[in-house]
Amino acid sequence: MIQDATVLFQIAGIGIIVAMIHSILKQMGKEEIAQVVTLVGFIIVLFIVLNGLADLFQQIKSVFLFQG
């Protein structure tokens, strides 16, 4: 359970860093790079969460006898 907690904090860290970079780049005037950075951060977090969800659904299937 603890290794999942570290992944949780990684996601929060990515989110905070992306938000900071976005605002910094906006001050520097580079709008489109800021958007790209936000998108990349979003995609990384999406992959992590989707892998977790796939694992969750697999566990649910095995526990709740979803053989049908």
Partner 1 sequence: MDILQIVGIGIVSSILILLLKEQKSSLAFMLAIFTGLIIFLALIQQISHIFKLIDYMAGKANIHGVYVETILKIIGIAYIAEFGAHLTKDAGLSSIASKIELAGKVFILLLSIPILTALIEAILGFFPG
Residues in the site for partner 1, rule: CB under 8 A? 1-2, 4-5, 7-9, 11-12, 14-16, 18-19, 22-23, 38, 41-42, 45-46, 48-49, 52-53, 55-57, 59-60, 63-66, 68
* Least spacing, CB of residue 48 vs partner 1, in Å: 7
Residue 19 to residue 13: CA distance in whole angstroms: 10
* Least spacing, CB of residue 36 vs partner 1, in Å: 15
Q: CA 21 → CA 1, 36, 65, distances in Å?
A: 31, 11, 46
> In this structure, what are the phi and psi dihedrals at residue 65, rounded to the nearest 5 degrees?
55, 40
